[in-house]
Structure 1
Amino acid sequence: MPKRVGTAQNGKLKSSEWHSLFSIHLPLAFIETLVKFQTFDDDMVRYQSVLENLCCLIGCTNIISLKSYTNDDPISFQKDYEKYTKTSEIVFSNHKVLPNHHYALHIPDQMR
């Protein structure tokens, strides 16, 4: 990962860098932030939907990034995406379903 992610002088990220940032660095930073500012138990209860939302989205991203799929992968993707959609409604108060959200519902069928 580049040291100065998000700055103009750093330029654009490659897809592998986006994947690394999204699936490794951001979840760890999020959990560290939860632990740092209050007790772990209190934050886990308060931010359970946020954490579930992030984990489901990462799960979907990791499945899509696979070079080959097993028979269980479309099922896992569908379960994660459904939970991601439900938790998005809780986490984001002004959540709107966009065409890309709808298209993602068809990904499991394309994986089979």
Structure 2
Amino acid sequence: ITTPTWLGRMPRFAGSTQHGKLKADEWRSFCTITLVYSLIKQWHDKDTRFQQMLANFMALISLVNIAHRRTLDHKAIADYRRATLDYLRGVKTLFLEQQLLPNHHAALHLSSMMQMFGPVISWRTFAFERYNGMIQAINHNSRIGELAVTFMRYFCMGSNIRAILAHGSKLPGAFNTVQDTFKDVFGSDVRGTFLNDSSVFDEEEGAVPYPPRSRRKRGELSTIARNLFSSLME
């Protein structure tokens, strides 16, 4: 399946130990795109149970897609409520051993919250979850009382480097050699939900993009001036 470039990475080998735990964005892409095509292809001509499971899965995809809309009206909220009930009824009918979980119950209340607060994108906590993921990726020594300082140090270090790199062409040529390393350490995939959420804000006028990546071969060493190195580490 070929997907638009603004979508995040499509998970490969999902569900296997080789891939590991899926992130929220990967779950969304995998279910709303990959499985939609795959299950229709695999189940469309099978017996009644497979047809019912396919319809049940499509009800889940419908409610997810409605919940991610930027704008909502009364009809969309009613469609969400109907799709949620169809999905949960299907779960209880098709999977008798499956017990409903707190998230299933919470989904029933989401339509009321949409009615009161508007589209979910305006009040969900995806940004906080993203920062939790960033914090979990920071190396630390597990010493209680020092974690906050370690996190703050890495955040400040990343902010300082971004500020330096924002000068673009004003930097010495040798500075471009740290681009790949910087993106490996502090970079992240900004497509998918992050891009969707941040696109509601206009780009800052006059913002200078990062300089292009250097053509340095992997494993090739290079040097930068000591004062530039000190600026990076502050």
Q: CA deviation at 1:97?
A: 2.2
Aligned pair in 2 of structure 1 residues 100, 15: CA closer, same or farther (>3 Å)?
closer
Q: For residues 94 and 12 of structure 1, do their structure 2 counterparts lie closer, same or farther at Cα, with a shift above 3 Å needed?
A: closer
**Deviation sequence 1:68-99 (CA, Å, 0-9, x none):** 22221210011001111111112111121222
Higher relative CO (Cα under 8 Å, sequence separation at least 6) belongs to 1
Letter in 1 for 2:105: H
Q: Over aligned residue pairs, what C-alpha RMSD do you find?
A: 2.0
Q: Is the 8 A contact 1:49 1:90 kept in 2?
A: no
Distance in structure 2 (CA, Å) of the matches to 1:2 and 1:86 = 29
Q: Deviations along 1:25-74, whole A, 9 cap, x unmatched?
A: 11211122225xxxx2xx25332321121011001111111122222121
Unaligned stretches of 5+ residues in structure 1: none
Identity %: 31
Q: Structure 2 CA distance, aligned partners of 1:108 and 1:47?
A: 29
Give me the whole-angstrom Cα distance separating, in 2, the residues matched to 1:12 and 1:95.
Answer: 22
Shift in alpha-carbon separation, 1:45–1:12, aligned structure 2, 3 A: closer
Alpha-carbon distance between aligned partners in 2 of 1:27 and 1:44, rounded to the nearest angstrom: 18
Which residue of 96, 99, 107 maps to 2:110? 107
1:75 and 1:44, CA in 2 relative to 1: closer, same or farther beyond 3 A? farther
Tell me if 1:77 matches 2:77: no
Does the aligned pair in 1 maintain the 2:43–2:54 contact within 8 Å? Answer: no
What residue number does 1:49 align with?
52
Cα drift, residue 3 of structure 1? 3.5
Normalization by structure 2: what TM-score? 0.41
How many residues are matched? 106
Out of 10, 14, 32, the position equivalent to 1:23 is: 32
- When structure 1 is superposed on structure 2, of 64-73 and 75-84 the one drifting more is 64-73
Structure 2 unaligned blocks of 5 or more = 1-9, 116-234
Rg comparison, structure with higher value: 2
